Amino acid sequence: MSVPRGVGRPVKEKSGQMKITRLLLAILLVNLCVVGNVIGATPADEAQALETVLKTLQYTFYSAATPPCTFFKPEVVTCDPASGLITKLNLSSMGLRGKLPPQIGTFKSLELLDLTTYNSSLGFPNQIVGPLPDELGNLAQLKYFNVTGNCFTNSTKESDSCKRDLRCDQISRKYNDNGCAPCPSQQYMYDFIKCLCAPLDVKFGEGKKSFAIGAIVGIVAAFVALLLAIFALWRYKPSVFRDPFKKKDIDYGPWEIPSGVQKYSLAELAKATNNWSESNEIGQGGFGKVFHGVFEDGKMVAIKRASDSSTQGTSEFRNEVVLLSRLHHRHLVRLEGFCDDRGLQILVYEFMENGNLHDLLTGVKKGRDVPWYKRLEIAVGVAQGLDYLHTMADPPVIHRDIKPSNILLDSELVAKVADFGISKEKENIETHISTRPAGTAGYLDPEYFLRRHLTTASDVYAYGVCLLELITGQQSIDHMRLEEFNLIEWVKPRFKTGGVDAIVDTALGEDYDREVMKEMTEVALACSAFSKKDRITMKEVLNILGPRLANASALNAASISEKVKRLSTRDDPNTKLYNKHKEGSTSDLKVPLPDHTSTSSPATTTQFDLQILSPR
């Protein structure tokens, strides 16, 4: 499987480029088309081989007792109807780790093998290291083979495609005795800490040929740059006009606007946002850009404008408005109105003064005092909002993208779930159950890559990760945690050996209830179990954490009342502000109390045994 060292160097022949192309093609054919002396495998043999391959790569959920084409969806494993042999294996972004075992050469009818890690916000990256096994040469029928984004090393040709980012570096170190993996051919190591490689400054002996190659490269680069410039001018030409909504005035016909929702004109929204000024832009969500708007009466709103690339039709957008108008809960961001002038798609929501949970914990507002009981209150509030979407909404709504940046906070730090129910391209408006992922890395249900389907349990998984962020103050994905860049992987061993003190946010110091934070951690881990059948529901979350919040709020109110009473009896001018509380009244103090208006069921004893997650 190794590539001859002469490949990639100048070839002293007249038709150099053709010779190089032929040589590379020959190497590819030799590597992929050599047929080994292997006896034909049966479907049972292939099932056993697949189990071995996946378990070697740390995927332990498949057993050979079940035929692979029955266990996996067709997008993952495809079998020949006649022989039952595997013809396609799409194992991309499944979180596979380790060395590819020789059993991969068992699938003699295999035509497609995809082990890639796509550069996207979705999924669990594969981290497969090399060298590739020689048994790949047994795959005589293989027509498509892709390993992009993995970390192959040694003399393997695929080492040229190893991106060597921080994640890749850590995996390479693990499988190379904590040392850097070798650089690809014609490259050298210029950073031994991060294991970064750079091309050698090769000086060719033949000046004419070097000049010719340079000239060709320069011409091609200039041509590509010209094409990109033309595309950019064509793509972004509408942005030079003052009116960002250059669309036709089309009459889409009358429709019944749902009660409680206001229809705004485009002129009203333009005025509220200073003609869609960039200074009013406050974010970018799954629906499009978000603007801060202020109406003439002083009312502040958040205005979400569909992106230019959205292909959702007007009828689908109107159905969306009808659906959103039915969703009313204290812990859901309220829809105020909409605008569909000129066929546009604009939603108007209540404005949340304190931004989102991500900024509060780890972003631009990091360091703000968020006591433990307020974190518990936020956790319960989000759980109430999700439970409403899952069990009370008609039709039920699967959020699909729960994360701290979609949890907004009002002036009293009351948490409200945002971006729920917003249709993306080709959504099912009737059921709101998506077969296309809309999640974010670190929060996306790992079972999606097995079942290719998102459910309410997917929201529960994401909620569990958010709950861990509330407890630890850390982000779900952080490459500075080296091999434990995933927050769940970081929490589990520390919680097991050191208890909640080993994981709790250092910003809390010693000022937190250990029993409550311990129980919150157990709930978070129960929500974020790999298999959805092992996860608890949002209603069970409320049954566990709801009573804790009620007790915490009552104790907190009593504590503050006692402090006020104690301060008011001191002969100190600094305590005069509290004199009005001498009668024992705390009515002016803003003490957060639990929301008992939730539609969720009352607290009952859950059947889930939390003790299995307790640290020993």
Burial of 441 (0-12, 13-18, 19+ CB in 10 A): middle
Choice among 401, 419, 445, 505 that is catalytic: 401
Q: What ranges in 125-282 are assigned the alpha helix state H?
A: 166-174, 207-235, 266-272
Q: Running DSSP on this structure, what letter comes out for residue 259?
A: T
CA separation for the pair 276, 121 (Å, rounded): 28
Give the Cα separation of 370 and 470 in Å (integer): 10
Peptide bond into 396 cis (omega under 30): no
Report the C-alpha gap between 334 and 328 in whole angstroms: 7
Q: Tokens at residue 384, please?
A: 């109430």
Which residues are CB-neighbours of 8 under 8 A, at least 6 positions away?
185, 186
Cis preceding-peptide flag for 74 (omega within 30 of 0): no
At 395, list the tokens.
Answer: 């039709």
Structure tokens at 598: 């939730």
DSSP code string of 209-234: HHHHHHHHHHHHHHHHHHHHHHHHHH
Confirm or deny that 304 is annotated as ligand binding. Answer: yes
Indicate the SS3 state at residue 87: strand
- Rounded to the nearest 5 degrees, what angle is found at the Cα of 594, between the Cα atoms of 590 and 598? 135
Buried/exposed code over 255-278 (b: 16+ C-beta within 10 A; e: otherwise): eebeeebeebeeebbbebbeebee
**DSSP secondary structure letters along 403-457:** -GGGEEE-TT--EEE-S-S---TT--TTT---SS----TTTS-TTHHHH----HH
Active site residue 401: yes
290: which residues sit within 8 A by CB, 6+ positions away? 281, 282, 283, 284, 302, 303, 304, 305
3-state DSSP call for residue 187? Answer: strand
Q: Tell me the HSE value of 476 on the side-chain side, using a 13 A CA sphere.
A: 22
* Angle separating helix axes 372-391 and 514-527, nearest 10 degrees: 30
Strands (E), 215-315: 262-263, 281-284, 288-294, 300-306
Strands 187-191 and 196-199: antiparallel
Chain position carrying tokens 């160097």: 9
**Residue ranges of the binding site for ATP:** 304
Q: What amino acid positions are annotated as catalytic residues? A: 401
